[in-house]
Copies of this chain bind each other. A is one copy, B any other.
């Protein structure tokens, strides 16, 4: 049998491909190793921006030219969240090892519905490790998903299923039954409205409860709201606690929320997008005390575990309820206990996606390579850096802290004596833009109690103590520059 003339997308010349791959690795390593000397962000030139309107390529230019297009037009103009001085929103950094794990995963490209293969066991082991990290029992179930929104929405979908009291998978919410309602603080992340909409609950099914001065939910106000809604004939079914709010990093009293949910018969879901990881540190764990009592948790590994996007996890305490909410049986997937289908499709039965990639590999390799204790120390370092920044802000009379530093978020502004409140929002917005445009650093902006804040959210394993000192100095300098006109 001679080799056929069949087409393929594999390279004609594997040696040439290997050389190109080595070049990609070398360029990438050189780039990553020099990030501290590079701008944190840069605007894109007009001609680069315009170049993205080329017509659909009918004929190919080959692997090498495709790489060169990336190297010239894409790599120099990224979002920048891999940079040591990026602290915008809560966007993780990525790591070199996990980057290579993505390549290794894509090479064997396993389909992670389940199946009888090592990658399935890797994901099961990762889920068991993550459950242990979160203080969840070994009988809990979980699955890796794209991001915090999906992790939280799946938790909410399991809650809806567990609490409905009728066959909601068959009937849906179209039966004219009492309205199913959910509760969380007014600082709950935007996923909750999106999730309530997607699940057909409607965004008005989410009842936002006020927070205290430290952005923590008023638990007694939530209890009163639940009881009032019950008395009005509605069906309160789920309360959400937040571990790490997006604006200020605040965490609800999760122990009190767990007790409330037990008392009132509600499902307790924790949105731990980044805050859940505080549990790894003995020093920080008390902040998320009570989280281990949740019925479900959603959290990200591409935030405070520093992994590249996408990697998030939903854990559900009662594995049977989790499977009941999603499991399917399809004739084209059925087989016995031999061959490739012997592993079943456990992950497809725990969420929405049937085709799933090997997100678990980067988690597995990273936990093995770095160890949980190194993560704990890094998380503590991120928090220590934020306390250092807050101290710098408080020490400088021209700077003002706008919210208590609960975890890894600092909201502050430039507010020198003699500049009126009416001018401060515009002044600080301009400072933020110049920080970004000049490549100094990339914090983001937000509004805290009506005042514009420069917001530093630190889930960056590349930041050094002096990076925050540069930031504080630069804010004052830019502020002065703007005032000097």
Contact = CB atoms under 8 A, between A and B. Distances in A.
Nearest to A61: B368
Contact of A332 (B89, B331, B372, B381): B89
A110 interface: yes
In the assembly, how many copies of this chain are there? 2
Contact of A371 (B58, B200, B433): B58
A336 interface: yes
A139 interface: no
A477 interface: no
A59 B369 CA distance: 8
Q: Which of A100, A306, A444, A464 neighbours the largest number of chain B CB atoms within 10 Å of its CB?
A: A100
B201 A198 contact: no
A124 B128 CA distance: 38
Contacts of A56: 128-129, 132-133, 367, 372
Contact of A200 (B119, B199, B246, B429): B199
A169 B4 contact: no
A300 B352 contact: no
Interface in A69-127: 69-70, 73-82, 88-89, 91-112, 115-119, 121-122, 124-125
Contact of A203 (B44, B128, B129, B169): B169
B147 A74 contact: no
Interface stretch (A26-34, A259-267, A287-295, A392-400): A26-34
Nearest to A2: B466
Q: Which of A60, A148, A436, A447 neighbours the largest number of chain B CB atoms within 10 Å of its CB?
A: A60
Contacts of A81: 109-111
Contact of A444 (B10, B332, B373): B332
A354 interface: yes
A173 B146 contact: no
Contacts of A330: 190
Closest 7 pairs (CB-CB, A-B): A200-B200, A172-B202, A60-B371, A309-B357, A176-B176, A94-B109, A66-B369
Contacts of A67: 100, 104, 365
A165 interface: no
A6 interface: yes
A446 interface: yes
Interface stretch (A46-54, A315-323, A414-422): A46-54
Nearest to A247: B332
A286 to B, nearest CB: 20
Contacts of A104: 24, 28, 67, 70, 75
A331 B200 contact: no
Interface string A185-204: 00000110111111111111
B338 A170 contact: no
A459 to B, nearest CB: 12
Contacts of A433: 335-336, 338-339
B464 A354 contact: no
A381 B461 contact: no
B4 A465 contact: yes
Nearest to A376: B58
A239 B173 CA distance: 20
A485 interface: no
Given A33-B14, A332-B444, A106 B94 contact: yes
A363 B449 CA distance: 43
A361 B61 contact: no
Interface in A11-55: 11, 14, 17-18, 20-22, 24-26, 28-29, 31-33, 41, 43-44, 48-49, 52-54
A63 interface: yes
